[in-house]
Amino acid sequence: MSHAATTASRNARPDIAEYLAESIFSGRYGPGDFVPKELDLCEQFGVSRSTVRSALQTLVAAGLIKRISGQGTRVCELANWHLLDPQVSAWMAKFAQPNPRIQREIFAFRVAVEPFVARLAAEHATAADLLAIETAYEGMIHALERDDLRWKGQTHDEYDVAFHEAVFAASHNLVWAQISHVLKPAIALLVEKSNHSAHELNDSMERHRRVMEAIRLRQPEQAAAAALAVLERTGRDLGLEDLIRALPILEDQTTIG
């Protein structure tokens, strides 16, 4: 093995796929552009073609790039990206922050989907689903009471994400459950970025509690409205509240006053 490559590969391999993904999401390589050829990447990262090709294939599977034999590797149009691939979703949560368009569209999607899923959950949730939701909820509560925001090893934010996942699972449909996996990084990001003052957290908890209660009481409409209210709080912290106001679902008050 080579002396120079040792430190690079031993300490922290830069994960070529992730590096390229970051390059694309940040716009350094735009749609239609060519990315460096395999041998250049080999030299740049000090790895073999196998490794580089492996990384590139990950991006191909994500729909980010398209490889043309003999010609090169070019970035695909945004519309062809597999936004619903969990891998892509994770990258987006990591790198697409400065991209306001994507950020908005994802949030708009959540605003459309989560109330709908909450409605389904209210109709189909079993006792086991309720237990999972309540466990996550209790985790959020208990974690808040600790100084380090941890309870049984998990943080408040992790319980928050688990809460949303449990609601998706309660819809009892494979595809909706998949969407929760896709949305998980996005949810985690927003949860993490939203403000964490004491007052806001109490307010957020109360909104979560209403979702849980509506699902338990088999009240689909209330569940949808409550889920929307949760998003409304999150969206307000990120300056995206306009996406919510345009919704048809709002029936009564959403504490805007």
Partner DNA sequence: ACTCCTAGTATGTCCGACATAGGATCGGAC
Partner DNA sequence: GTCCGATCCTATGTCGGACATACTAGGAGT
Which positions touch a second copy (CB under 8 A)? 50, 53-54, 57-58, 61-63, 78-79, 81-87, 102, 105-106, 108-109, 112, 116, 119-120, 123, 173-179, 182, 220, 248
Of the pair 118, 133, the CB lying nearest a second copy is at 118
DSSP sequence for 138-203:
HHHHHHHHSTTSEETTEEHHHHHHHHHHHHHHHT--HHHHHHHHHHHHHHHHHHHHS---HHHHHH
Q: How far is the CB of 69 from DNA (least distance, A)?
A: 4
Q: Which of DNA, a second copy, none does 220 bind, CB closer than 5 to 8 A by kind? A: a second copy
Name 151's bridge partners: 154
Q: What is the rounded distance in angstroms from the CA atom of residue 137 to the CA atom of residue 211?
A: 10
Which residue among 24, 29, 38, 118 contacts DNA (CB under 7 A)? 38
Joined tokens for residue 144: 């808040």
Q: Which of DNA, a second copy, none does 106 bind, CB closer than 5 to 8 A by kind? A: a second copy
| Residue among 156, 165, 169, 167 at smallest CA distance from 187 | 165
Of the pair 39, 138, the CB lying nearest a second copy is at 39
Q: How far is the CB of 47 from DNA (least distance, A)?
A: 4
48 binds DNA (CB under 7 A): yes
Q: Which of a second copy, DNA, none does 109 bind, CB closer than 5 to 8 A by kind? A: a second copy
Per-residue x/- mask for DNA, residues 53 to 82, rule CB under 7 A? xx-x----------xxxxxxx---------
Q: What is the rounded distance in angstroms from the CA atom of residue 51 to the CA atom of residue 204?
A: 45
Q: What is the rounded distance in angstroms from the CA atom of residue 242 to the CA atom of residue 41?
A: 43
128 binds DNA (CB under 7 A): no
Q: What is the rounded distance in angstroms from the CA atom of residue 167 to the CA atom of residue 133?
A: 7
Which residue among 28, 39, 77, 251 contacts DNA (CB under 7 A)? 39
CA-based torsion, 186, 188, 189, 191: positive or negative = positive
Q: What is the rounded distance in angstroms from the CA atom of residue 188 to the CA atom of residue 159?
A: 10
Do 167 and 133 form a contact (C-beta atoms < 8 A)?
yes
Q: How far is the CB of 11 from DNA (least distance, A)?
A: 13
Q: What is the rounded distance in angstroms from the CA atom of residue 153 to the CA atom of residue 175?
A: 30
Of the pair 142, 172, the CB lying nearest a second copy is at 172
Q: How far is the CB of 254 from a second copy (least distance, A)?
A: 8
Of the pair 2, 197, the CB lying nearest DNA is at 2
1 binds DNA (CB under 7 A): yes
Element (H, E) at 68: strand 65-68
User: Footprint of DNA on this chain (CB under 7 A)?
Assistant: 1-2, 5, 9, 37-39, 46-51, 53-54, 56, 67-73
